[in-house]
Structure formats: C-alpha cells, structure tokens
Amino acid sequence: MSYGQYLSFERDGNVGVISLCDTKGLNLVGKGFLEELDEIQDLIDQDKTLRAVVIKSEGDHFSAGIDLNYLENVSSQFIMDNLVWLQTLYGRFQELPIPVIAAINGLCYGSATELILGCDIRIAADNARFSIPEVRFGLSPDMGGTTRLTHLVGIGQAKRLIMACDEIDAEEALRIGLVEIMVPHEKLNERAMKLAHRMANLPPVAMRFAKKGINLANESSVGASLLFEQAQSTFCCGTEDQNEAIRAFFEKRKPEFKGR
C-alpha cells in the first residue's frame, strides 16, 4: 500500500470512502495525488463486496485544483504520453458498476471540478465554491471538463464557466445543475454517507444496469437507449435479487441481496 500522503481509503460497511487528506489543506492535484487515486481505484475495482463510494475531503477545502508547480513542468510530450491515462483516471468512476458520490466543501477548482464531473452524484456544502479556470492559464480543460460539464449543465453554462473562468457558489451550482444536492456544511458528510448506504443496500445488479442505462441515454440515441433497456430488463427479470426484493416486500422484512 503506497497511498496515504494525499488520499486515504477506508470502508464503512459496504461503502468505500476516499478522503482527500493533504496536510497542507488545499489537496492540490499533482503526480502523487494522481498515482494514489489510480491505486485506490484498482482496490475498489477488485473488491466486489463494495456497493457504493463516497469521495470527500478531511480539510476545509475539497481541492484547489492542479498544483501549478507540477503543471509548470508538463510538456507536449508528457501530454502525448500520459493524457489518455489521466482522462481514463477521471472517467473511471463512471465505469464502476456502483454509485460514486462526491461530497464537496470549500474550494473546488479546475482539475477538482473535472474530478467530480466523473462522479454520479454531487453533494455540495453551502460554503462550496466552484471554478474551472484553465483558460486563464493558457489551457483548456482536458480531463473531461469540456465534455462532461457540457453534458451536465448545457452548452451555454459550460461556455460561461470555462471561457469566462467564472467562479460560482454552491447555490448557483445547484441552480444550473452542476451539483444535485446542497446542504449545510456541518451536514455534508452525514448526507453523503446516508445516501451512499441507502444506494448500497439496493439490489446490486439493478444498480449496475440503472447506472449503465442512464450513462448510455446521456450519450446516444433514444433508439439505442431503449434497446439497452430491453436487454437489461430481460437479464434482471427473474434474478435471485429481484425475487428476493419482491418476497421481502410482501413479508415486511429487510431483503438480503447477493448480486445475482
């Protein structure tokens, strides 16, 4: 295990918790941060007993984004050699068959905003502030920012945030759809964990197909999405978990799902 300097990982029952834990307090994204994230994602991918993931910060800020000292040494050759890996890293949470929830407090800038865009649900504390200011530094977002932000908030808002480098607060982020939930700062982690556990206790096969179906609908035609619904329904109907869910409902007891 080599992570722990920038990120920590622990379990709370069947929920995995990734915490941004840089002692300097800004959780800047650099080489060590990215390598630790990659290692933790591998652990999550291999652990088939996990049913949800929460990403949060242990400090006053989620993340102030890329470490400019790290960025200063990035060349075109580095980008050609590494950008596919970096994009895959930030998109990997979308490929997991379980829900991934981001709990955001304080600053969430640049690369950190791109990180939460790859999550399934974003919960913001009322003190959160968002910005994606890469253009100010002679760049354009390259880890999913122009792609996922446009899908999430629409082309006009994406252009405003990226091209004007606007900074917005949690209330505006909620209004435009950048986050799904806003809560008082002191309730942030409680709300995120409560939602994660609720989703973790639902049938895992149904959760996997629901996430896949929604992602597909966001990226393809209505016809292709309906075809996927037909396929997933054929698979899900008659599974052990579906039968267990129905029996437990009628028997007024907590269901026990096995993922099959």
Measured N-to-C along each axis, helices 204-219 and 222-236 cross at an angle, to the nearest 10 degrees, of: 170
* pLDDT confidence of residue 1: 60
Residue 175 lies in a domain: yes
Residue 228 shares a structural domain with residue 108: no
Residue 176 shares a structural domain with residue 122: yes
Residue 187 shares a structural domain with residue 227: no
Residue 260 lies in a domain: no
**Strand order in 107-109's β-sheet?**
107-109, 129-131, 167-169
As annotated, the active-site residues are 114, 134
Residue 212 shares a structural domain with residue 149: no
* pLDDT confidence of residue 247: 79
pLDDT in tens, 172-221: 999 999 999 999 999 999 999 999 999 999 999 999 999 999 898 888 77
Residue 151 shares a structural domain with residue 167: yes
Asked if 122 and 104 touch (Cβ cutoff 8 Å), the reply is: yes
Specify the CATH number for the domain of residue 66. Answer: 3.90.226.10
Residue 257 lies in a domain: no
Q: Is the pLDDT of residue 126 over 90?
A: yes
Q: Is the pLDDT of residue 144 over 90?
A: no
User: What is the number of structural domains in the chain?
Assistant: 2
Domain boundary at 175, 200, 225, which?
Answer: 200
Specify the CATH number for the domain of residue 245. Answer: 1.10.12
Residue 147 shares a structural domain with residue 227: no
249/217: higher pLDDT: 217
CA 92 – CA 96 distance, rounded (Å): 7
Residue 162 shares a structural domain with residue 36: yes
Name the helix (H) or strand (E) containing 197: helix 188-200
Residue 234 shares a structural domain with residue 158: no
Residue 151 lies in a domain: yes
Q: Please, which pLDDT band fits residue 65 given cuts at 50, 70 and 90? A: very high
Q: Which of these, 99, 5, 1, lies nearest to 42 by C-alpha position? A: 1
Residue 186 shares a structural domain with residue 219: no
Residue 59 lies in a domain: yes
Q: What is the mean pLDDT of the chain?
A: 90
Residues spanned by the domain of 238: 204-251
Residue 132 shares a structural domain with residue 92: yes
Residue 1 lies in a domain: no
Asked if 123 and 183 touch (Cβ cutoff 8 Å), the reply is: yes
